[in-house]
Structure 1
Amino acid sequence: MSTLPTSRHDDRRRTFPPLGARSEATGTWWGGAWVTALEELALDPARLARGRAYAAGGHVDAITVTPGRITAYVHGSRPRPYRTQLRLRTLSDEVWEDFLDGAAEDPAHIAALLDKDLPHTLADRVDLLPGPGDLVPDCSCPDDGYPCKHAAALCYQTARLLDEDPFVLLLMRGRGEQETLAALTRRNSARMAVERHSPAPDLPTVAAREAVRTGARPALPPPFPAPERPGHPPAPPAMPGAPDPLALDLLASEAAARAHALLTTGEDPVAALSTWQDAVRLAAAHPGSGMTSTTRALYAGLCRATGRTATDLARAVAAWRQGGSAGLDVLETPWDPPAGPFDRARPALAAAGHPGFRPWRNQLSAPTSQLRYGRDGLWYPYESDPGRDDWWPRGRPTRDPVEALEIRPGADTAPDRPSPAGPAPYDLS
């Protein structure tokens, strides 16, 4: 049962009366992700603490939510309250279509939304939750903090709205509740109509009477054909004391994908992987920048399980995205290649205007560029900042060392490496 007061709203404008004082933390994973986005934005932890106290003390008046904007008056130390806003980028029509398609594909997703629940896989499909830097605070107070305590208070109270109703998040991203449900209803009706009019597959069967008669029984029919793709698991409920919904969703999705691969190819694609290789594979399947809190939790869990650091995992993910298990082997295992392509690489690089590469085992290194020769016969490009022996995979491997060195795809999927004086690419603390 929702504890929020009834809100007055049209479909793209909702105004919630003041929520009053409350001290307990947010209660849903998406509300927690919202708070995390605020706390990663903050430059001053002290202002966050003041904002949290303002929210707990009921200093935030009625909150109005419209696409891309959250507005409220927040009471501070002066008699007149301050007008405070949080801005959040709305999603494009194309992204919304992708979100709605994903929700309509799985009846469990629609059921979860109707039950005021937000499945992890659905939120992550289009980066529905804000990442670092997505929230833009603004306040009429003279405080130049980023965010000020009034904007922080509004953000903490907004998390309470999200706890009670994830459709508030959809509205911030640009679509109202009734609008979203109507679009899902149309998609669901169209899908059901197609299923009703699709001819039933002509599958061989055995009559029940023949199957149970004594004596000689007929041969079993061949197995049903494999589905085109693995199914999606139902959204697990977030209940006190229950296992982590993200972990359950991940395990179920992994099991479905492995079962589908085994059914269609006869091979388990991850059976031969070590624990570390499998952890890198899992992390590489998730976004490498602007990660949601659920993905950060996955990275943190993988680091704890493997005893590796966040930088170790980020570097390994970059190598996996560059070349799968072969790319990870190139990152972690120097070896002595036979004469031939490796020996011809230095003259070829010099002829193309890239002299000065020093050989060491399967590596050719210059001050900021490096090529590593893999056991698969490919050259893997690496980069490092000037004066640092800190090599990170970049670009894609090719059989031509000059091409591998010079081509840098515009949509590089590798995570950014840490800056020389900065933190690891993923702050998992």
Structure 2
Amino acid sequence: MKTRRTPRHDDRRRTFPALPPRPGAQGEFAATWWGNAWVESMEESALDPARLQRGRRYADGGHVDAITVTPGRVMAYVHGSRPRPYRTEIRLRTLVQDDWEDLLDAAAARPDHIAALLDKDMPHTLVAAADLLPSVGDLTPDCSCPDDGYPCKHAAALCYQTARLLDEDPFVLFLMRGRGEQEVLADLTRRNATRSATERTASAPPMATVAADEALVPRTRPPLPPPFPVPALPGRPPAYPDLTGAPDPLALDLLATEAAARAHTFLTTGLDPVGALTPWQDAVRLAAAHPGSGLAASTRALYRDLAAAVDRTPTDLARAVAAWRQGGPAGLAALEEAWDPPAGPFDRARPALVSADFPHFRPWRNRLSTDSLQLRFGRDALWYGYESDRGREDWWPRGTPDTDPVGALAALLGR
């Protein structure tokens, strides 16, 4: 019987969902220095500033569809004045082997460079090791529209939106220049291991020898040396390559990071805050601690897999994550548990809201609700804010919990 093979992930081709509009945005388009360097390369070689302005308005208005990045090319469909979108590309030179050697050697020589890349930051000195960022005229636009501008407004819009991708993940810049994220991290891991082994070998003293008859003489063993001091921070896991038939590298990274953090906490405190959690609470905690955000593909995959493991939906998990980030295990309990609080703070909440000009809250068990706002009284004596579209009863945690219901409502309303 033939076994079904898992499709191999293409590390040199990534497609990012369309970015949301950002109406009224002013100032520099990108949020990072490398994102703005990308924009400047396009702007300084443009022949018509008016087309650039229209392209920026297209980008701000969300006219750029999903963006696909491959070595030397960025492609997307951009909506213009006609019903059918235009196929738009930006091409740039990929790095040759010698450039990659210089770049990777420079990164492997500095542990802080590797740490910065893993934190989605791009060091200036690393960029200087090779022509990683585009220079003036290095970006070549192409579009299926009839406009012969250089660039046309559609290509300019794509270039602006690409800067936002670079803000979120500088590894996109490595992919544009020819290599995917996992490929770069695997190469850095190999180089770092080789460098460490070489340094250890060079600094190791000659191994001492003992004659056999001397080694067999009975003797009292000395006491064991004291244990090593606990490091200030948990260690970082290595980069896991994406291999056919191997576990998902994101899952391995998540498990290794989690194990290191739990071990470090146990060594420093003697406590394991995770051991008493249920599988559902642990899944929520893992998802809430994930550094990814929004619509990133890695975040969607993590939510899908964690939700399936505990027989929940990704929407259930996303709502629970919002509650966990609002108040930890107590916030999750406030989301999932309706209970009858004793007389006291709950009974005094409605008069306090009325005196603060919020008279329309209706009580039910530990909850006070209007058509779109809700306060939930937790067993930890805190009030948790919730919000829903009118008439939908689709409540989502919002704001910061407070001992005062008026304070929790003010945090919910942004006052």
Common topology (TM > 0.5): yes
Aligned with residue 35 of structure 1, among 5, 8, 15: 15
CA separation of 1:138/1:296 partners in 2, compared to 1, >3 Å: closer, same or farther? farther
Mark the runs of 5 or more structure 2 residues left unpaired by the alignment.
Answer: 1-5, 22-64, 77-85, 93-105, 123-140, 148-153, 159-169, 178-183, 200-215
Residues 43-78 of structure 1: per-residue CA shift (max 9 Å, x gap): xxxxx9xx99xxxxxxx9xx856xxx679xxxxxxx
Q: TM-score, normalised by structure 2?
A: 0.55
**1: distance between equivalents of 2:109 and 2:310?**
34
Alignment of 1:183-222 (within 5 A): 217-222=221-226
**2: distance between equivalents of 1:285 and 1:29?**
27
Cα contact 2:338–2:366 (8 A) shared by 1: yes
In the TM superposition, residue 139 of structure 1 has moved relative to its aligned partner by 2.6
In the TM superposition, residue 304 of structure 1 has moved relative to its aligned partner by 1.2
Aligned with residue 374 of structure 2, among 359, 370, 374: 370
Q: Which deviates further from its counterpart, 380-389 or 281-290?
A: 281-290
CA separation of 1:378/1:251 partners in 2, compared to 1, >3 Å: closer, same or farther? same
SS in 2 for 1:371: strand
CA separation of 1:101/1:389 partners in 2, compared to 1, >3 Å: closer, same or farther? farther
Alignment of 1:29-428 (within 5 A): 30-31=11-12, 34-35=14-15, 37=17, 84-86=88-90, 104-105=110-111, 109=114, 122=117, 125=120, 139-141=143-145, 169-170=173-174, 217-287=221-291, 289-408=293-412
Among all aligned residue pairs of Structure 1 and Structure 2, give the percentage whose two residues are the same amino acid.
62
In the TM superposition, residue 39 of structure 1 has moved relative to its aligned partner by 12
Q: TM-score, normalised by structure 1?
A: 0.53
Mark the runs of 5 or more structure 1 residues left unpaired by the alignment.
Answer: 1-24, 42-47, 53-59, 72-81, 89-99, 111-120, 128-136, 144-149, 155-165, 174-179, 196-211, 411-429
CA separation of 1:123/1:278 partners in 2, compared to 1, >3 Å: closer, same or farther? same
**1: distance between equivalents of 2:109 and 2:305?**
27
CA separation of 1:356/1:37 partners in 2, compared to 1, >3 Å: closer, same or farther? closer
SS in 1 for 2:402: coil
AA partner of residue 385 (structure 1): D
**2: distance between equivalents of 1:363 and 1:286?**
30
In the TM superposition, residue 35 of structure 1 has moved relative to its aligned partner by 2.5
In the TM superposition, residue 353 of structure 1 has moved relative to its aligned partner by 0.6
Q: Which residue of 2 aligns with 1:163?
A: none
In the TM superposition, residue 249 of structure 1 has moved relative to its aligned partner by 1.1
Cα contact 1:70–1:172 (8 A) shared by 2: no
SS in 2 for 1:380: strand
Residues 153-212 of structure 1: per-residue CA shift (max 9 Å, x gap): x9xxxxxxxxxxx97733759xxxxxx99xx9xxx9xxx9xx9xxxxxxxxxxxxxxxx9
Residues 102-145 of structure 1: per-residue CA shift (max 9 Å, x gap): 995478x59xxxxxxxxxx9567459xxxxxxxxx9833379xx
Cα contact 1:106–1:232 (8 A) shared by 2: no
